[in-house]
Amino acid sequence: MPVSHPQAVAEAGISGRIPFDNTYAALPERFFQRVEPTPVAAPRLIALNDALAEALGLDPEFLKSPEGVAILAGNRIAEGSAPLAQAYAGHQFGNFVPQLGDGRAVLLGEVLAPSGERFDIQLKGSGPTRFSRRGDGRAALGPVIREYIVSEAMAALGLPTTRSLAAVTSGEQVVRERMLPGGVLTRVASSHLRVGTFEYFAAREDIEGLRLLADYAISRHYPDAAEAADPYLALFEGVAARLADLVARWMQIGFIHGVLNTDNTSIAGETIDYGPCAFMDAYHPRKVFSSIDRQGRYAYQNQPGIMKWNLARLGECLLPLFSGERDAALAKANDVLGTFGTGYKAAYLAGFRRKLGLFDAHADDEALIGDLLARMAEGGADFTLTFRALSELAGGTATDDSVRDLFSDKASYDAWAFVWRERLSREPRTPQERSAAMKAVNPKYIPRNHRVEAAIAAAELGQCDLFDELNRVLARPYDDQPAFDRYCAPPQPEEEVTQTFCGT
């Protein structure tokens, strides 16, 4: 029995500056490639997320030190890190690709936060791996900044998401349509398990690998499922519930993921892989931003259906693990798919009720919500401003004109508002109470595309002030921040961003 020396433990705590506690690296070697990040020429830290570092139990000052920055750039391997690139497959735009994997990312390892939660720490843009195919393994600075801003905004909005711990410029150029400055993002996630990770093993008919992966996912994300009569079915149910809730949350804030492939669908139920994502300005259900999404497969209104499609792919992978005969297992899997639809609808309605200041549930709420959205689409109303202005209106701190002016057809808004007011009168609340409840779910500040693009353009020229300021404003999306009111405004016609690029 080894004797524990308190002093030795304390010393180990200090020398292991990032207290890695790795579990994925203990899975069989076919789950990943052990590979170190490729060093970059001249790393410079442009953002460090102090609050996140502290929540993870990491010392922000250490991460900002030359040694810390070297780790965040991939130029130095931290003690305790067991770097690896994860294997996964995926359906990209509906087409199955049996091998994708981390082609430009390396998992440094996991840490246990003081909260007891386990998190992956991953570098993105850290050089080639066995999974790079024809890619260079690098990331341009633009997409690094976009992911940093949008993922942190999502966290502040209260949505499940991966986080951004740091961004570094590499001092190297990457070749895209043109030469661009390179960057490395340090991403934090509950895990990087994807629907595509399951597809990787299923495609190889590696049932043992599949079972190990499912057991790992259960112990890491769905521990209650281990106690269920059929743990793998319970895992599937758990993922279905989280993904239904997640996509309902996206719909409520006007978020369009942009590349909702199965490899970009997290088993933990977090928003992951921010590429050509966007928040809508003017509402339209068919809105698409991604330059590569020519058919609009991942348009705003298609997201719930696509998420269910992705979930069905997971169900197919898990089928051999479900208990009972194949037909019975298939029926159970289909029942779970059905729960996605009901869970999504319940979350969607509950969320939009809150956005409209409704406290009780009525049968005609769905029609009221749908009617507003239809009129917003027709009238070109800004999604975020409409709901925020309604929140002010309900509190008596704004007039009808502030909402009406957002619609090209003012009478169309008036007709809806008449019904809304009648509905509100059926559940009297004080204006203050109603307005406060609405403002807590209707953000004032979102990462508007033109602001994100401006922050990227400045950072590419070495100016990070806009990036910093945007992060600061978006950290408190529901609060009135009068000094930053300009960040509420939709783009001027000449500022409008109509396309986003994944920049890979």
How many CB atoms within 10 Å of residue 190?
21
**Partner from Mg ion, ligand AMP, none binding residue 138, C-beta < 5-8 Å depending on class:** ligand AMP
Q: Which is nearer to ligand AMP, 144 or 329 (CB)?
A: 144
The answer to whether residue 135 forms part of the interface with ligand AMP (CB under 6 A) is yes
Give the residue with the Cβ less far from Mg ion, 189 or 358: 189
**Contact flag: residue 109 with ligand AMP (CB under 6 A):** no
Is the CB of residue 390 less than 8 Å from the CB of residue 357?
A: yes
One DSSP character per residue, 142-211 reads HHHHHHHHHHHHHHHHT--B-EEEEEEEEEEEEESSSEEEEEEEEEEES---BHHHHHHHHHTT-HHHHH
3-state secondary structure 452-497: HHHHHHHHHCCCCHHHHHHHHHHCCCCCCCHHHHHHHCCCCHHHCC
Catalytic residue among 102, 263, 273, 281: 263
Task: Please give the residue ranges that form the binding site for Mg ion (CB under 5 A).
Answer: 264, 273
Considering only residues 23, 38, 132, 291, which one is a binding residue for ligand AMP as defined by CB under 6 A?
A: 132
With binding defined as CB under 6 A, does residue 196 bind ligand AMP? no
Contact status: 346 vs ligand AMP (CB under 6 A): no
Residue whose C-beta lies closest to ligand AMP: 135
Q: Is 409 a catalytic residue?
A: no
Alpha helices (H) in 278-325, listed in sequence order: 303-318
Min CB(185)–ligand AMP separation in Å:
12
How far apart CA 448 and CA 150 sit, in angstroms, is 9
Question: Nearest distance from residue 429's CB to Mg ion, in Å?
Answer: 44
Q: Which is nearer to ligand AMP, 119 or 131 (CB)?
A: 131
Nearer to ligand AMP, 104 or 404 (CB): 104
Nearer to ligand AMP, 41 or 361 (CB): 41
Q: Which of 101, 142, 343, 490 binds ligand AMP (CB under 6 A)?
A: 101
CB of 277 to ligand AMP, least distance (A): 11
What lies within 8 Å, CB to CB, of 420 at 6+ separation is 356, 368, 372
Single-letter amino acid code for the residue at 172: E
Beta carbons within 8 Å of 484's beta carbon, 6+ residues apart: 445, 469, 473
**Per CB under 6 A, which of residues 260..289 are in contact with ligand AMP?**
263-264, 273, 275
Cβ atoms within 10 Å, residue 399: 12
Q: Distance between terminal CA atoms of the chain? A: 52
Active site residues: 263
Binding site for ligand AMP (CB under 6 A): 100-104, 131-132, 135-138, 259, 263-264, 273, 275, 502, 504
